[in-house]
Structure 1
Amino acid sequence: MSGFLYYLAAFALVLGVLVVVHEYGHYLAARWAGVKVLRFSVGFGRLLWARRFGRDGTEWAIAAFPLGGYVKMLDEREGDVPAADLHRSFNRQPVLKRMVIVAAGPLANFLLAIVLYWGLFWHGTEEFKPLLGAPVAASAAATAGLENGELVLKVAGEPVQTWQEMRWALLERAVDADEVALEVINPRREISIRRLDVSAVRRSGWEGDALDRLGLALHRPSLPPVLGTVKANSAAADAGLRLGDEVLSVDDYEIDSWADFVRIVRQSPGKRLALEVLRDGQPIAIALTPATIDEQGEEIGRVGVSVSDGDRARAALMITVSYGPVSALRKAVVETWDKSAFTLLMMGKMITGEVSWRNISGPVTIADYAGRSARLGLDYYIKFMALVSISLGVLNLLPIPILDGGHLLYYLVEIIKRGPVSERTMEIGQQIGLALLLILMAFAFYNDINRLISG
């Protein structure tokens, strides 16, 4: 499958699952409340497929425009309702039931995130340890005195086991703190406290990767350029490379580490390379032409070999984290809550101008992330799906007319004033909400296009 189709399929699966779960939340709540559901649609616009199922003859449909979906319920405001079905009309339900039906969609997205995280935490995930590489010169990490090979044990007193846990803890504290204490241990088993200035993240408007901006990099062990495996029918096998060969040079460029060799190969798709390798103590000349592979829309070279010390390096860099079923569920709930609160906080800071609007992502960027996470593995893809599900839930609960949160706001006003909001007020609200969404979509598409152009 080409890179474009792979990314498109990964994005379509995420979008399809999240839309179905969201709308199914509305559907189940409507059925619980006794409201008749006329149509369950994935997508908007012209119907591509439709079938009727169930005792109410609900129409299940797939429509042409895939970015969303809807559940159409019996409602007197949208057409004539037979007298026998008046009690099953949405508009005839008590306000609290209507609120439950509307809130059930976003809540279903939060529940999906909890279930996904729970499965991951219970099954166990292999992740990078918070092992630091050499800090970028003149960066906050360098100023803090962080060194290559130090392992982060705690962030502001909170224990961390993985690179992602460290990243998340730093992001949370960068919201309102200028400095964060990192407890680290170096290869000599000496424990130190490093004070990291994180204010640069806020000053940048939260643009780009926060850890890159702070000068934090993942540790990359220096491995000798010795072949551990040679894949059959690969470019390396065709060239005559063997297990145990040590690469001395490529096109007269001296190779000091495995990283040097990988970098040159990746930069040379389809290009003939002159290698000198050491085999059984004797230097041998070999001509190697890397195969051309599409990776995230970029052509790279690949030859089909791995490093001899790869297993040892992997064991030093990776950790498998797992929890019992109860602990995993508790952690999943906390993870979903924390990320929901952080998403809402960032949205608020975007309105006040503290966070750049360039952080808004549209479908192109989301599709890119979907494809990247899928290529990294199922664990990463599931985490990505959970994160997008949380974002969708938070977005839909915003008090913007046309979104679920806007309808909940109308019902809250109805409870307070003991009467429904007027049709005129709702019509004006719908227009305002649509305008806000169009503006948001315009920003998202602009940012997508800008990222494509600038790379």
Structure 2
Amino acid sequence: MQTLLAFIVAILILVSLHEFGHYIVARLCGVKVLRFSVGFGKPFLKKKRGDTEWCIAPIPLGGYVKMVDTREGGVAEADLPYAFDKQHPAKRIAIVAAGPLTNLLLAVLLFGLSFSMGITELRPYVGTVEPASIAARAGFVPGDKIVSVNGVAVNDWSAARNEIVLNLESAEVNVAVETQNGRNAVRTINIAGTADAGQVVKQQGHIGLLPFKITNTLAEVLPGSPAATAGLKKGDTLVTADGKRLHYWSDWSSLFRQSPGKSLTIQYLRNGQTFETRLRPNSEELPDHTLIGKAGVAPQSDEAWTEKIRRQYTPTVAQAFGMGWQKTADYSAMMVKFFGKLLTGQASLSHISGPITIADVAGKTASYGLQSYVEFLALVSISLGIMNLLPIPVLDGGHLVYYAAEWIRGKPLSGRIQAAGLRFGLALMLMLMMVAFFNDITRLFG
């Protein structure tokens, strides 16, 4: 119910304000608006105010503003001066652009509101490198500080991750780092065109890097697991395996994984005293018939390291909204770059998400708190704004192209060209919707 409610609220806010942007500018330009609807289908709630009928319809996946337009049927002679299609192209461009621009402005306001509550940033330090991962093969080690990605400077973990993920499908990614001993180095990820690139997309950009450092102290021991049978408990610190000291949790994880059914002599600390036990990891077969071992334990994070990489502060209101503007500009540029890569085949269609994923993330962010949900709304608002500005017929951006061409030529494009563009746009959007639903279902059940 929380997921459903969070999704509906998000759609109502973002779509309503998008359409309200169209409505306000249409009225300012002297266009008569017949209906403002939130949702599709037969309205179940109507309210007439002035010339406009305000409606709420049952399908909460969009909305629309219906204006007087001679192309959609007969128009009374008295209404002709107020018809949308009879306005100067500049006015029509302003009306159409108002919706997406309202979404982008809303994102600035939402980010600003979130940032004014306080900001928690993670500095771009590598805390954990998962064994045998893409990151491990690229040479990353715990303690690396990421300085830049393909020459683009990064100041926090989120920016570093986004730059890496955006580029790894289409090009070699060179990550400049500063090591723990202060030396400069470059970690190179080169998986473009390989199966690994597709796997990263399925794992939502995960390449085996985590900002948090994991200790050898146990945070959890699953009941009935090999570790519980061996007598290990929460709070125990693993020290040696078969007489060999293992310094990192990644080493322990790798050892358990590579030792299915094998008896291991484990030395551990409990309340300052050293104990020894025998542990035999369970065997589990992967889909490729590889056997791996599982011990049934989870580690604690290093709180001192977390304090080192975490930065918390509360900016002034002016600073918060200035940062909101910058964040909106950065994410907008990133999305435009992504669509460019998608068009040239340098990015996978697997990145495209639909309403099921949006609903899932809406529910999760709402459960984390108001600030997370507000930032989620900002990101979706940017997506809605940029998506609608794409020059695809049936989207706002396609109409902008038509009206700009009309303004330049002094006359509209022929009906044949507009009809062909409409068919192309509908086919393309239908394909994207099918891909989005397929990706959603794959993520949900995959």
Q: Same fold (TM over 0.5)?
A: yes
Determine which of 185, 195, 210 is the counterpart of 1:194. 185
- Residue identity opposite 2:390 in structure 1: L
The C-alpha deviation readout for 1:143-168, integer Å capped at 9, x for no partner, is: 45433344546556766553213223
The match for 1:241 is: none
2:212 is the counterpart of 1:216: no
The match for 2:52 is: 58
CA distance in 2, matches of 1:158, 1:419: 44
Q: Secondary structure at the match of 1:448?
A: helix
Q: CA deviation at 1:380?
A: 2.3
Structure 1 residues 157, 120: closer, same or farther in 2, change over 3 A? farther
Contact 1:173–1:180 under 8 Å retained in 2: no
2:28 is the counterpart of 1:39: no
Contact 1:37–1:73 under 8 Å retained in 2: yes
CA distance in 2, matches of 1:146, 1:76: 63
- Residue identity opposite 1:141 in structure 2: A
Contact 1:181–1:195 under 8 Å retained in 2: yes
2:1 is the counterpart of 1:8: no
Decide which moves more: 149-158 or 433-442: 149-158
The RMSD of aligned alpha carbons is 3.3
- Residue identity opposite 2:43 in structure 1: L
CA distance in 1, matches of 2:313, 2:170: 29
CA distance in 1, matches of 2:13, 2:192: 33
CA distance in 1, matches of 2:176, 2:213: 20
Identical pairs, percent: 39
For residues 6-405 of structure 1, the aligned pairs below 5 Å read 6-53=2-49, 56-152=50-146, 160-171=154-165, 174=168, 178-184=172-178, 186=180, 190-200=181-191, 203=194, 204=197, 207-209=201-203, 212-213=206-207, 215-222=208-215, 250=228, 253-255=231-233, 257=235, 315-316=307-308, 318-405=310-397
Q: CA deviation at 1:421?
A: 2.6
Structure 1 residues 119, 107: closer, same or farther in 2, change over 3 A? same
CA distance in 2, matches of 1:40, 1:34: 16
Q: Secondary structure at the match of 2:126?
A: coil
Q: Secondary structure at the match of 2:57?
A: strand
Q: Secondary structure at the match of 1:87?
A: helix
Q: CA deviation at 1:404?
A: 0.8
Decide which moves more: 406-415 or 139-148: 139-148
Contact 2:128–2:214 under 8 Å retained in 1: no
Q: Secondary structure at the match of 1:254?
A: coil
The C-alpha deviation readout for 1:75-98, integer Å capped at 9, x for no partner, is: 222233333332221122111000
The C-alpha deviation readout for 1:316-357, integer Å capped at 9, x for no partner, is: 453214444444434322322222222122223223322222
- Residue identity opposite 2:232 in structure 1: E
Contact 2:212–2:305 under 8 Å retained in 1: no
Structure 1 residues 202, 125: closer, same or farther in 2, change over 3 A? farther
- Residue identity opposite 2:233 in structure 1: I
CA distance in 1, matches of 2:301, 2:206: 28
Structure 1 residues 399, 309: closer, same or farther in 2, change over 3 A? closer
5+ residue gaps in structure 1?
Answer: 228-248, 261-277, 282-306
CA distance in 1, matches of 2:63, 2:160: 37
Q: CA deviation at 1:372?
A: 1.9
Decide which moves more: 407-416 or 249-258: 249-258
CA distance in 2, matches of 1:111, 1:160: 25
- Residue identity opposite 2:426 in structure 1: L
CA distance in 1, matches of 2:376, 2:173: 29
CA distance in 2, matches of 1:44, 1:218: 43
Decide which moves more: 424-433 or 148-157: 148-157
Contact 2:3–2:360 under 8 Å retained in 1: yes
CA distance in 1, matches of 2:354, 2:82: 38
CA distance in 2, matches of 1:360, 1:309: 33
Contact 2:148–2:176 under 8 Å retained in 1: yes
Structure 1 residues 402, 155: closer, same or farther in 2, change over 3 A? closer
**TM value normalised by structure 1:** 0.74
Number of equivalences: 380
- Residue identity opposite 1:218 in structure 2: P
The C-alpha deviation readout for 1:242-282, integer Å capped at 9, x for no partner, is: xxxxxxx845540264899xxxxxxxxxxxxxxxxx99x9x
- Residue identity opposite 1:436 in structure 2: L
CA distance in 2, matches of 1:440, 1:145: 37
CA distance in 2, matches of 1:74, 1:15: 26
